[in-house]
Amino acid sequence: MKSIIVTGCNGQLGRAINKQLGSNSEYSLVNTDVAELDITNIDAVMKLAREVRPYAIINCAAHTGVDACETELDKAYRINAIGPRNLSIAATETGAKMIQVSTDYVFDGFGDRPLTEFDKTNPQGVYGKTKLAGENFVKEFARNYFIIRTAWLYGEGKNFVKTMLRLSEDHDMVTVVGDQYGTPTSASELAKAICYLLPTENYGLFHGTCEGSCNWAEFAEEIFRLAKKDTQVKHITTEEFGAPAARPAYSVLEKYMFKLTTDFRFADWHDAIEEYMKTLL
């Protein structure tokens, strides 16, 4: 049986990975979260890797508080950059495959066409900068790696979908940003993609989001439609919302590498959110 170390196992993606692989007799999951493994501590990472001798390391751990990263610079770099570096060093020593999850925030969002893996990165905030640093460390220290950039993730845990449903309980109208475009992505769909790549040697950088695109306000409207809620959505600008950290205005990711090198295809975001909503309602 092949052992797989999963970091951030209690997060949305970590839980989705467990659902995908938990019943697979080929793999044995070694689940860790911050209580079990401090990925920023190279000694702790090496100790676990030497004990487990994993087939793969799937890093679902991250400091994802986009606004918090602006003031928690050291913490963001430790978790989002040093953590992947440590895991990559351990993967190389033990012969494991390294799977790193990254983000659309590595782009500036100034364009108006879907971004491929070959487009130039230019992160505008600390979150994006630290995640890009993590990507670069993986490329530098891991021998066999998959880097998968995703966006607007929702699954089992705290997320935008649940926030909107909660607000709809006592609000007739909610205000949501309408000038940031991306792709809502089911953690289940992303987990399927990771599990598709896992046994292959098709290494490299991939974009991993559902198909299609929308803005946040349109996403909220679709959530309310599926939930049969009468809550109205007022579209506001990013400037009006006033978040501390810069967000990409347009960060729709084209799954170019998946399309060039595999027959795997992500679900359309409308279909994926409809499936997810069935688990909530």
CA distance 134 to 139: 9
Between the alpha carbon of residue 188 and those of residues 52, 60, 276, the distances in Å are 26, 13, 9
pLDDT in tens, 34-75: 999 999 999 999 999 999 999 999 999 999 999 999 999 999
Helix (H, G, I), strand (E, B) or coil at 168: helix
pLDDT in tens, 205-262: 999 999 999 999 999 999 999 999 999 999 999 999 999 999 999 999 999 999 999 9
Backbone torsions φ then ψ of 65, nearest 5 degrees: -75, 95
CA distance 65 to 137: 21
Q: 10 Å Cβ neighbour count for 26?
A: 11
CA distance 219 to 164: 10
CA distance 75 to 63: 8
- Both tokens assigned to 154: 């929702």
Q: Are 218 and 178 in contact (CB under 8 A)?
A: yes
The stretch 202-206 carries a mean pLDDT of 98
- Both tokens assigned to 63: 């400091």
Q: Are 77 and 130 in contact (CB under 8 A)?
A: yes
Residue 22 has pLDDT above 90, yes or no: no
- Both tokens assigned to 116: 């491929």
- C-alpha distance across the termini of the chain, in Å: 37
pLDDT at residue number 139: 98
pLDDT at residue number 137: 99
Residues designated as active site: 127
pLDDT at residue number 281: 81
Q: Are 174 and 234 in contact (CB under 8 A)?
A: yes
- Both tokens assigned to 187: 């953690």
* C-alpha 68: how far from chain center: 17
Backbone torsions φ then ψ of 13, nearest 5 degrees: -75, -40
DSSP conformational letter for 98 = E
CA distance 167 to 161: 10
* 23 — pLDDT class (breaks 50, 70, 90): confident
Q: What percent of the chain has pLDDT over 70?
A: 100
Backbone torsions φ then ψ of 247, nearest 5 degrees: -115, 145
- Is the pTM higher than 0.75? The answer reads yes
Nearest to 7 by CA among 28, 34, 47, 26: 34
pLDDT in tens, 106-134: 999 999 999 999 999 999 999 999 999 99
CA distance 76 to 131: 9
Domains of the chain (ranges; CATH) run 2-159+184-211+253-269 (3.40.50.720)
